[in-house]
Amino acid sequence: MTSRARGRARAISLTDHMDVSEGAHILYFYSSDEGYMDNAFAFVRAGLEQNQQILLLDSEENYELICKMLAGSGLEQAVSRIHFIAHEWFYRCESLGEGLYRDELGKLARTMQAGGQPVRSWGHVYWVDNSEAIFSVLQEYERYCDDLFSDMGLFGVCVYDGRKVPAAVQNELLKSHEYFMTDTSLTPSMLYDKKEQGVLFPSLAVQAQMQSEVDLYKQKLDFVHVVSHEVRNPLTVIKAYARMLMEQEKDGASRYKLQSITDYADVIDNEMAHIINTEQMLSTESLWEKTWIKVLPVLEEVNAIMETKARTQAIGFDSCLELEGEQIYGNVIGLKLIVSNLLSNAIKYSHEGGRIRIEAFAEDGELVVAIRDEGIGMSEEQVRKLFRKYEKMNVERSGQGIGLFMVKKLLDHFGGRIEVNSRLHTGTLMKVTLPLSEGDSTD
């Protein structure tokens, strides 16, 4: 059998959102039993969802657990496409020592491919002999698998308990595997002699969890996006009629009520726009592109709507923008999301009759935006968890816990930072710092 020489190999799907090259051979060293099961299940489930056949070499116990997990995911009918072989039997001493695996594995793969469906293999390598001789045999076995996968165009994962394999042997095994995986990451093998330039990916289980969270949140945003278009049109009509009536109304109390109608309509319209902008940032890569933007017009636009929002909550709003033509390297939507999220939180967690204040100025070549409130404040524990995804400052207040996660993500992208000073029952100060263009003067 010849060594792999495939040039530019065709890409095939490892998961719905990750491709690997045809004939890919993945070496997986796991460090925890929980991490192993998560990745084994993710690998099998992805194959079944793509209508593939699975060759599974593992223990009876793990096979039964995977089947239960598949049943819980609504895939119990697809279990028939799993060809299970107990790994204690397949990797028995005579199979490895005498090379019997060559005929057995090759025959299995060809029989499965004859059905016309793609095949993926998961082999949890089992051995009882810890002598140096067995590791030499395992290296020969892996070289055979590498050639077999390449020639037949299937792909598979060879799995070892990383706690039992010496580091020197691990390095040798990396030479016959195109990809290297741990419990949490997947990357091209740096020692594989036919390697192509690659990047680091999440492991199968981590990627599946991340994608599930992103998909769920996008579904929520998609729903609200559709609803928002139906809501914003009548809002425009409501605001127009309210303003017309205000022009005709002489009574002060009536004018105040009409002003409240327009204020609330503006707040609802802004919330819809905020959701749409967040959806676009999550789903459109082009909106993460950066360019030099002027800060003052963006802050003035955000301040106008946030002052209205504060007024509807009976909260005072003070603003001091000591800026002129200063620029940052970012984008308008991103800067709007950062400032509007922080101001919105300041309003949300303030008491009726309280005040919030925003200050913005240039200092030492940086833009500083400070937002202070007199609200409920946070404990040290809450501050530590503040920028985690889906973490909320107060479970009693509305929200998805995504706003400050997005703020931190955007600030990292723009090369900025955020400082938080808060005392429970006293208030909070959020201080954002972003680098200014070199031509901007500082105070």
pLDDT tens by residue, 337-386: 899 999 999 999 999 999 999 999 999 999 999 999 999 999 888 888 78
Is residue 6 one of the residues assigned to a domain?
Answer: no
Q: Is residue 300 part of a domain?
A: yes
Note whether 260 and 367 are same-domain residues: no
- The rounded Cα 343 to chain-centroid distance in angstroms is 25
pLDDT at 432: 96
- Whether residue 216 is found in the same domain as residue 116: no
Write down the pLDDT at residue 198.
45
Which of 202, 222, 251 delimits the end of a domain?
Answer: 202
Q: Do 221 and 311 belong together in one domain?
A: no
Task: Specify the length of the chain in residues.
Answer: 443
pLDDT band at 221 (very low <50, low <70, confident <90, very high): low
Q: Which of 177-181, 200-204, 378-382, 430-434 has the lowest mean pLDDT?
A: 200-204
Domain check: are 219 and 186 in the same one?
no
Edge-to-edge strands of the sheet including 366-373?
Answer: 316-322, 355-363, 366-373, 427-435, 417-423
Picking from 202, 232, 254, the residue at the C-terminal end of a domain is: 202
Burial of 378 (0-12, 13-18, 19+ CB in 10 A): buried
Tokens of 261: 């109608």
Q: Do 267 and 310 sit in the same domain of this protein?
A: no
Residues 173 and 228 in one domain: no
| Residue 53 domain flag | yes
298 and 442 share one domain: yes
Asked if the structure places residue 182 within a domain, the reply is: yes
Are 262 and 295 part of one and the same domain? no
In the numeric block, which tokens belong to residue 31?
């460090």
Q: What is the CATH number of the domain that holds 295?
A: 3.30.565.10
My answer on whether 256 and 291 are in the same domain is no
pLDDT class for 297, splitting at 50, 70, 90? very high
387, part of any domain: yes
**What pLDDT score was predicted for residue 5?**
38
| Residue 309 placed within a domain | yes
**Which of the two residues, 429 and 281, has the higher pLDDT score?**
429
Residues 6+ apart with CB under 8 A from 50: 13, 16, 118
Residue 229: C-alpha distances to residues 56, 83, 161, 187, 242 (Å)? 49, 50, 53, 42, 21
* pLDDT given for residue 375 in this prediction: 93
What digits encode the pLDDT tens for the residues 36-52?
999 899 889 988 988 88
CA distance readout (Å), 250 to 239, 241, 363, 435: 18, 16, 48, 50
> What's the domain count of the chain?
3
Residue 190 burial (C-beta neighbours within 10 Å; 0-12, 13-18, 19+): exposed
Reported as a single tens digit per residue, the pLDDT across 277-289 is: 766 666 666 667 8
Beta bridge partners of 433: 368, 417
Residues 147 and 262 in one domain: no
Where a domain ends, among 283, 301, 332?
Answer: 283
The whole-angstrom separation of Cα 188 and Cα 26 is 9
User: Residues 318, 341: one domain?
Assistant: yes
Residue 268 shares a structural domain with residue 333: no
Listed residue (313, 341, 353, 318) closest to 408, CA to CA = 341
Residue 340 in any domain: the answer is yes
Domain with 192, as residue range(s), is: 11-202
Which residues are registered as beta bridge partners of 27?
158, 180
Quick check: is 2 in a domain?
A: no
